[in-house]
Structure 1
């Protein structure tokens, strides 16, 4: 493989550019591989999950680009500067400036704040000149790169912008006038107050396709107190996002569990969702959606025809039905927790199964609320398994529980999955309240022979940590029936 054509290698490595471990290992194969992978690694070298603060080699590379005069001046001030020669012109491949990470790398050198500022001035000055085309910009650090004379010309072509809401609004006003073709915007919210600058930045965009909002402010006091202190950092900017409904295809909202407040007002999020009809990807990590009639009626009227990926923490089953009923291209549906209303659960879960096999038959990854052991549900679920032939991952959620029927559920699932499931099914998730007896599990695994190896995730894994179950599992692992199981 080391002798593969260089052009072919480049295409392979580009496909694997998100796999940092693989790319870094390629550097050590031979010179051809190293020469091929370096431009890919250095296209956006600050994106990888490594500790940049400890990367002295990156500090050496950056300071190596300084002119001899500047090196001499900085050295006299006690700043350590690399004098090594470089094997590659690394920055000629770079299309990214991440101020937060570059600041960390710079801090490896000078200890005094003023000396660090001097080094920042020099490094960012040559970075913005040296990088042939800047596509990725992260301005979450301390240095205000917009003050550089070349900024207006060099930053016009930004494709992806990451920022936080603690930055001065005036900085965003300048960004908005320079960068108007940004397609991906990631905003890290660390501010309890609204930042009008971020709103203006969103308003000025002409082709926004990807919007991601991440709440990362620290809750110092009681959650309810924190929510009362919020001066609504959301409504203004999410109203601006709605104006990009025709171009936006990725919407992501992340509110960490530490910041959840079930009594908080999330209508800004629901209002935005009602407008964003062209989405392909929808990710929402927040408390439960509102259960008011007005929102539900509007949600039922929206047609999300392009959705391919949905990931939501908490949502009512019938609200999921409303969202996916027109999503013919849906590939993945990941729901962490389906909320139920006891009076309508039977109808809602029944309709959910039917909606999937009638409208989402291309589904590959599916979370599904467990349903009652009634014949009508069996018929519908069998239709789902027969119709959804692309299904690779099936995770059941315990939203319904009948005391004393744990083993009966296990018997049913083992039979129906071996009988009706697609040959593509490779992952199964089993929730609390469903249990496989030793005999049922053995029968299931025996019938699974001849299919691709199965991975099984068990919520109640501790039940199976006995000698009998472990012996059975090891046997079918050796036989290639089980790929992985968490016991």
Structure 2
């Protein structure tokens, strides 16, 4: 007796398609099979829509991504863009079949900023800023369970993490230290399950360092840690690292101008990989 894929339970089919996560062309083909396949595949495609370098995409692709996101915006946001003479949607574009924003498990502020600036490169910067703000607000409202946040953008949106319930499930944070005031404090109050943290240090403002130490200290199962210092030192962070000496398995350290103090590494009993580097 042979079994067709169409006969499989939805849960099994979903698990099979999830293994195609990094095969974009195949996932696009799955969209065309039937409604069920489409529903499962579109979730995978939008799980990390930033996963491919936007600079290597054609303007058509980046415009399509941005148009889809804008189509998902609430009417209030669309009216705000219209009043500011920001027209990205095609006049023939129908209402989206799905609420694509809620499928996102990864949020990259830098990639979003890059896509917007790429599409609106001939427009004043304040218009790009407004588009980014409204899309981020939508993500804050729609993403119920965020897994990864990447925050390196030169454009720093002032979205408030305390009103972002989906960030409670965050497991990976990649960011720079020079983020808006209270960012790290807000995150430390609601997110305690980070397994991977990567921070680029660009300054030594004591408040930010204290907030970063607090964030690191409050994590329950930190496994991967990357600290990168540009013309500053992250030595003051070391006391916060010692709490995780039994859980951290990967430790990547980079210092541009300061010697790396490595004596504390001996405390990490389960360390499997360490990459110390100084310029």
Normalising by structure 2, what TM-score?
A: 0.78
CA contact (8 A) 1:97 1:138 kept: yes
Deviations along 1:405-457, one digit per CA (max 9) or x if unpaired, are xxxxxxxxxxxxxxxxxxxxxxxxxxxxxxxxxxxxxxxxxxxxxxxxxxxxx
Aligned ranges 1:6-25 → 2 under 5 Å: 7-17=11-21, 19=22, 22-25=23-26
Quote how far apart the aligned CAs of 1:158 are: 1.7
Aligned ranges 1:201-220 → 2 under 5 Å: 201-215=215-229, 217=230
Aligned ranges 1:147-186 → 2 under 5 Å: 147=160, 150-151=163-164, 153-168=165-180, 170-186=182-198
Alignment partner of 2:51 out of 37, 47, 52: 47
Partners in 1 of 2:159 and 2:77 — Cα distance? 22
Do the aligned partners of residues 53 and 148 (structure 1) sit closer, same or farther apart at CA in structure 2, a change above 3 Å counting? farther
RMSD: 3.0
CA contact (8 A) 1:64 1:81 kept: no
CA contact (8 A) 1:160 1:183 kept: yes
Do the aligned partners of residues 171 and 137 (structure 1) sit closer, same or farther apart at CA in structure 2, a change above 3 Å counting? same
Do the aligned partners of residues 168 and 150 (structure 1) sit closer, same or farther apart at CA in structure 2, a change above 3 Å counting? closer
Quote how far apart the aligned CAs of 1:62 are: 0.9
CA contact (8 A) 2:193 2:221 kept: yes
Alignment partner of 2:260 out of 266, 269, 272: 266
Partners in 1 of 2:64 and 2:177 — Cα distance? 32
* Secondary structure of residue in 2 paired with 1:211: strand
Partners in 1 of 2:254 and 2:228 — Cα distance? 5
Aligned ranges 1:71-90 → 2 under 5 Å: 71-82=78-89, 84=93, 85-90=95-100
Partners in 1 of 2:112 and 2:234 — Cα distance? 29
Quote how far apart the aligned CAs of 1:53 are: 8.4
CA contact (8 A) 1:184 1:209 kept: yes
Quote how far apart the aligned CAs of 1:99 are: 1.1
The residue number in structure 2 matching 1:308 is none
* Secondary structure of residue in 1 paired with 2:194: coil
Quote how far apart the aligned CAs of 1:174 are: 2.5
Give ranges in structure 1 of 5+ residues lacking alignment.
218-229, 289-487
Aligned ranges 1:466-485 → 2 under 5 Å: none
Do the aligned partners of residues 132 and 171 (structure 1) sit closer, same or farther apart at CA in structure 2, a change above 3 Å counting? closer
Quote how far apart the aligned CAs of 1:274 are: 0.8
Quote how far apart the aligned CAs of 1:145 are: 4.6
The residue number in structure 2 matching 1:105 is 115
Deviations along 1:22-42, one digit per CA (max 9) or x if unpaired, are 233331253245443221222
**Bigger Rg, structure 1 or 2:** 1
Do the aligned partners of residues 244 and 104 (structure 1) sit closer, same or farther apart at CA in structure 2, a change above 3 Å counting? same
Aligned ranges 1:141-152 → 2 under 5 Å: 141=153, 142-147=155-160, 150-151=163-164
Deviations along 1:194-250, one digit per CA (max 9) or x if unpaired, are 7513223212223322212245x4xxxxxxxxxxxx44x221113311221122233
Partners in 2 of 1:193 and 1:158 — Cα distance? 25
Quote how far apart the aligned CAs of 1:191 are: 4.0
Question: Which region of structure 1 is more displaced relative to structure 2, 191-200 or 159-168?
Answer: 191-200
The residue number in structure 2 matching 1:278 is 270
Deviations along 1:160-218, one digit per CA (max 9) or x if unpaired, are 11111222563222222232232221112344777513223212223322212245x4x
Partners in 2 of 1:273 and 1:16 — Cα distance? 38
Partners in 1 of 2:267 and 2:188 — Cα distance? 23
Choose between structure 1 and 2 for higher RCO, CA contacts under 8 A separated by at least 6 residues: 2
CA contact (8 A) 1:74 1:81 kept: no
Do the aligned partners of residues 34 and 24 (structure 1) sit closer, same or farther apart at CA in structure 2, a change above 3 Å counting? farther
The residue number in structure 2 matching 1:31 is 33
CA contact (8 A) 1:91 1:130 kept: yes
Partners in 2 of 1:53 and 1:143 — Cα distance? 25
Aligned ranges 1:221-240 → 2 under 5 Å: 230-231=231-232, 233-240=233-240
CA contact (8 A) 2:108 2:150 kept: yes
Give ranges in structure 2 of 5+ residues lacking alignment.
none
Do the aligned partners of residues 61 and 236 (structure 1) sit closer, same or farther apart at CA in structure 2, a change above 3 Å counting? same
Aligned ranges 1:251-262 → 2 under 5 Å: 251-254=251-254, 259=256
Partners in 1 of 2:175 and 2:52 — Cα distance? 18
